[in-house]
Each structure stands twice: as structure tokens, then as C-alpha cells.
Amino acid sequence: MSLSSNIPFLTTAQMREVDRLMIEEYGIELIQMMENAGRNLAAAGRDLFLAGDPAGRRVAVLCGTGGNGGGGLVAARRLSGWGAEVTVWLTKQSDTFTGVPAHQLEILDRLDVEVRAADGISELDADLVLDAIIGYSLSGPPRGSAADLIQAANAANAPVLSLDAPSGVDTTTGQVHEPAVNATATLTLALPKAGLQTDEARSRVGDLYLADIGVPPELYAQPSLKLAPGLDVGPIFATEEIVRIW
């Protein structure tokens, strides 16, 4: 995981367009992107915070119902397979999940990975907390069980690794809502998000890493993305799937 610079940052709207282009123009489906995101989240957690060996270590994975949460569910599966003692905490009851996240949750059920609803959560007993509650879809301050999970993550006596952005941080403006995760490190996806650069956001982001979810570099030249003219996003991940931004 080497330090990387001169990588462009995307707004939330641009990242939504990346996702749309991946699916509609390139035929790369959400489940493929989610698998890549979750695999890299698990690997980053293992290598950054579990000394390269998760066997026997306690990992709490906090998941919302959307794509960010789906990535967390993939990470939970991978870490469980690597021998970690995984507990998944959900913002909603499992029967409210739909689409690809519901599919990922069903796999965990078949594997007998412990899954709990966040209602009434008070504390997290873990060696590592993975924050996959809210990604770039954040709209206003987190509420209800999402807020409860964020507060539990911040109170935990363990490092917190956030997926894409710390939950509660706006990925375009950098506004830090109340509550918001105070991450030890953040693993953002495809390209880093513009809002993570602000001083306010950086106080919650911690160390920032970037993970490959399989975006073809030529996609970034699509006019609909409205990136700076002449900007060439090359093969960022040619030598490793996770690179350090700061």
C-alpha cells in the first residue's frame, strides 16, 4: 500500500455517474463492484489493523441497507472465512434488505455468521470495527439505528475502518453531521471523494486509502463525467489493489 498522489477526486454526482456507466455502458454489475469493495475492505482491515492474520480476532461489521452496507457484508464473509470472529450489526431488520445487499445477507445466513439488528445496541466488544453504514448516499444527519451504530463505533475501544467515507460525512461538501464516525482509516472506492479533502472531513477520515472496484480507466474519459479536459486517469492499481492517498 504505497503513497499515491496526483489522483483526481470526484463529487458524489460524478461517482453516481461512474456507477451508472459501469452497469449500463460496460456491463459490470453491482454485485461485481460490491464483491471487489468488500474483498478489499476485508484485506485492508486484516493488513492494517490485525497484523495480517484475522484468525481468532473479533470484528464488528456495521452495515446499512444500501450498496455500502452490501460491501460490509462481503467483508464480513471474507473475514469469517479467514478465521475472524465476526458479528454483523444491521441498521434494519434483515427482512427489509432488498436486491444485491439482501443476496449478500442470505449468504451470511447460510454460513451461520452472527447477524444482529442494531436496536438497543450499547457497546461493541471488538478488536476492529468496520463502518459500512452509509456511503455517498448520505442525506442529512444520520438518524435512528444508523446514528446508534455510529455512536457505538465512536465509543468502541478499537480502531474503526470506514468504507468509502466515514458514515455521517458528506462526500461532496465535506460537512460532518452529528453524529459521524471518527475513523482511524477510510478505504474509499474507485477514486477518492471530493468532500474528504476538507479540514472538517479529514478530522474524521483518518488515514485515507483507495481501493480498486474494477472501473476501466477509459471510463473516466466519458463526457458525462465532466472531469477536467485532458485529465488522464491511468492504471492506478497496476501493482496493487489498495493505494494510500494520505
Q: Which three cell numbers stand for residue 244?
A: 494510500
C-alpha cell at 222: 466519458
Ranked by mean pLDDT, the top range of 2-6, 39-43, 226-230 is: 39-43
Q: What CA–CA distances, in Å, run from 142 to 103, 148, 219, 228?
A: 25, 9, 32, 33
3 state SS for 22-43: HHHCCCCCHHHHHHHHHHHHHH
Per-residue pLDDT for 175 more than 70?
A: yes
pLDDT (0 to 100) of residue 121: 83
Mean pLDDT of all residues belonging to the chain: 94
What is residue 230's predicted lDDT score, i.e. its pLDDT? 63
Q: pTM for the whole thing?
A: 0.96
pLDDT of residue 123: 85
Instruction: List the one residue out of 155, 112, 98, 160 whose CA is nearest residue 132.
Output: 160
Q: How far apart are CA 183 and CA 170, in angstroms?
A: 14
Determine contact, residues 88/114, Cβ cutoff 8 Å: yes
pLDDT reported for residue 234: 86
178-233: pLDDT as tens digits: 999 999 999 999 999 999 999 999 999 999 999 999 999 999 999 999 887 667 78
Q: Yes or no: is domain 12-244 CATH 1.10.3860.10?
A: no
Domain parsing of the chain, residue ranges: 12-244
- Which pLDDT score, from 0 to 100, does residue 93 have? 94
The neighbouring-strand residues paired with 89 are 62, 116
Residue pLDDT, tens place only, 104-162: 999 999 999 999 998 868 789 999 999 999 988 888 899 999 999 999 999 999 999 99
**Coil, helix or strand at residue 196:** helix
Residue 185 burial (CB count, 10 A): 19
C-beta neighbour count of 233 within 10 angstroms: 18
